[in-house]
């Protein structure tokens, strides 16, 4: 319908060609008179490909296009002929147009947050990737979603790719870390490339609805790095298709491995993006006589308003339980406790929503317990800590049960399983963490049994 309206503007409103460039010229003249630049990454409703089929304007279309142009501030550039009364039977058509409009940034449930279109360490075919961020409170599975551009590149995601609430996923042209420049990918796609010049990255959900779009221009207004990613450094409510919110990566974050030189933060917030303003060093849940005790420790805090404690039974949908005030800005270690009682038997998952004074927030890793066994457990501090290349700690459980002990990066990615088996009651199990092949950094080791889950930090210094 927008196309029909644009043709009517072309035929009756001042000589605009089939591609809508006459309107562009008028807009450019208006912007030049006002001393304003025209954003290159924006598309006007009348900017359609020359080969797109066009039909004549109906009496319904003119007021709709006029309304959209008035909302975008471009109405004064277009002349509209008078319209005739609407036929009653077609009054529902404006609703169809409104439903087809792109989602605003505030309404998006997933956004593209980092793009590596021109790696230096490896060829483009081996090292291209992009990152998506989930700003919502529920996990999003990308299976059935489509990655495409405005040309012919298109790929349907055929496997489960869960983007956790407040977390990231990295989609790569090549998922092999030994040949892709040293990054861990959540999914490998095909039939989709990232041009080094202008190109688009478009996400569509399984219904075909466009959820997010980033159209970079190859250097006119957008960054155009070589050997570094383009990084979105705005808030989730900002327009991530605005080049003002994109910068060139300046550091190689720990999510890259190996001795490469490409810069970026695949799968993490990175130093240039909005990050958790609190350094959370421990978060654990313990069960005693039917009451869950949540405890966590921070090494430092910056503008920390506090923590909303959230609960879930399926690790997908979380509900708030209460709020614990933070300590604002401090470099001193702080400890917090929050008891939860009255829970029914079964699985219970908890996380923290850390809230800044300006309303920005981020989520902690999850911990969980199962209310069907009584007793206590113990996960010791690692020694030595910091360490290189190995450290040890112990796990003690109150009853015989299956326990998994794994190591995670600060981004929540599992990098090592240290133990997966049955532990006997009250018999300390010594666990050794060998990290000779891992880069320096802070890691989290987590022990999870049928009645507990606990996490502690450990620092590898090489």
Q: What is the pLDDT of residues 344-377, one digit of tens each?
A: 777 889 999 998 887 878 888 888 888 764 456 7
Whether residue 461 has pLDDT greater than 70: yes
For residues 210-233, give the mean pLDDT.
94
Class at the top of the CATH hierarchy for domain 373-462: mainly beta
432 forms beta bridges with 392
The predicted structure's pLDDT at residue 375: 54
CATH code: domain 276-370 is 2.60.40.2550
- Rounded average pLDDT over 258-264: 88
What is the rounded distance in angstroms from the CA atom of residue 127 to the CA atom of residue 172? 7
Tens of pLDDT along 298-327? 877 778 899 999 999 888 889 999 999 999
Chain centroid to CA 228: how far?
19
For tokens 């199990």, the residue is 429
Cα–Cα dist 153/200, whole Å = 10
**Token pair 């009364």: residue:** 85
Q: Residue 340 and residue 87: Cα distance in Å, rounded?
A: 61
Q: Minimum mean pLDDT among 205-214, 287-296, 411-420: which range?
A: 287-296
pLDDT per position as a tens digit, 11-54: 444 433 333 444 445 445 544 555 555 554 444 444 444 444 44
What is the reported pLDDT for 440? 92
**What CATH number is given for 105-248 in this structure?**
2.60.40.1260
User: In the numeric block, which tokens belong to residue 169?
Assistant: 């996923």
Q: Give start-end residues of each CATH 2.60.40.2550 domain in the chain.
A: 276-370, 373-462
Work out whether the CA dihedral 93, 61, 56, 1 comes out positive or negative: negative
Query: What are the pLDDT digits (tens) for 124-150?
Result: 999 999 999 887 767 899 999 999 999
Rounded to whole angstroms, what are the CA distances from 357 to 46, 305, 327, 433?
42, 5, 11, 38
For residues 238 and 105, the answer to whether their CB atoms sit within 8 Å is yes
pLDDT of the residue at 135: 78
| Residue 32, pLDDT score | 54
Residue 185: is its pLDDT beyond 70?
yes
């Amino acid at each position: 319908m927008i196309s029909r309206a644009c043709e009517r503007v072309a035929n009756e409103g001042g000589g605009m060609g089939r591609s809508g460039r006459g309107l562009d010229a008028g807009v450019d003249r208006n912007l030049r008179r006002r001393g304003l630049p025209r954003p290159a990454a924006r598309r006007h409703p009348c900017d359609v490909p020359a080969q797109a089929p066009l039909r004549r304007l109906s009496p319904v279309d003119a007021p709709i296009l006029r309304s959209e142009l008035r909302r975008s501030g471009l109405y004064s550039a277009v002349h509209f002929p008078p319209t005739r009364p609407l036929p009653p039977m077609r009054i529902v058509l404006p609703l169809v147009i409104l439903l087809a409009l792109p989602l605003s940034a505030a309404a998006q449930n997933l956004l593209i947050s980092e793009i590596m279109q021109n790696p230096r360490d490896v060829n483009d075919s081996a090292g291209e990737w992009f990152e998506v961020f989930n700003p919502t409170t529920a996990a999003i599975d990308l299976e059935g979603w489509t990655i495409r551009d405005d040309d012919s590149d298109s790929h349907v995601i055929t496997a489960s790719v869960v983007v956790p609430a407040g977390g990231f996923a990295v989609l790569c042209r090549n998922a092999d870390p030994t040949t892709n420049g040293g990054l861990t990918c959540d999914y490998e796609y095909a039939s989709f490339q990232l041009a080094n010049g202008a190109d688009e990255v478009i996400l569509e959900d399984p219904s075909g609805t466009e959820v997010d779009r980033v159209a970079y221009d190859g250097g006119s207004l957008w960054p155009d790095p070589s050997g570094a990613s383009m990084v979105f450094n705005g808030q989730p409510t900002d327009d991530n298709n605005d080049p003002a919110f994109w910068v060139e990566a300046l550091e190689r974050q720990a999510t890259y491995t190996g001795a490469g030189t490409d810069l970026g933060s695949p799968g993490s917030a990175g130093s240039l993006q909005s990050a958790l303003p609190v350094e959370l060093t421990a978060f654990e849940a313990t069960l005693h006589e039917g009451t869950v005790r949540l405890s966590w420790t921070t090494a430092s805090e910056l503008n920390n308003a506090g923590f909303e404690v959230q609960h879930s039974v399926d690790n997908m949908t979380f509900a708030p339980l209460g709020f614990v005030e933070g300590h604002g800005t401090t470099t001193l270690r702080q400890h917090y406790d929050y008891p939860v009682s009255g829970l029914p038997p079964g699985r219970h998952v908890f996380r923290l929503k850390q809230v800044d004074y300006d309303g920005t927030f981020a989520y902690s890793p999850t911990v969980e317990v199962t209310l069907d066994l009584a007793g206590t457990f113990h996960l010791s501090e690692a020694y030595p800590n910091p360490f290189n290349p190995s450290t040890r700690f112990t796990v003690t459980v109150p009853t015989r049960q299956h326990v998994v002990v794994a190591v995670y990066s600060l981004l929540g990615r599992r990098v090592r399983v240290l133990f997966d088996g049955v532990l006997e009651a009250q018999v300390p199990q010594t666990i050794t963490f060998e990290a000779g092949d891992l880069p320096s950094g802070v890691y989290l080791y987590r022990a999870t049994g049928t009645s507990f889950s606990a996490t502690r930090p450990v620092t590898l210094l090489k």
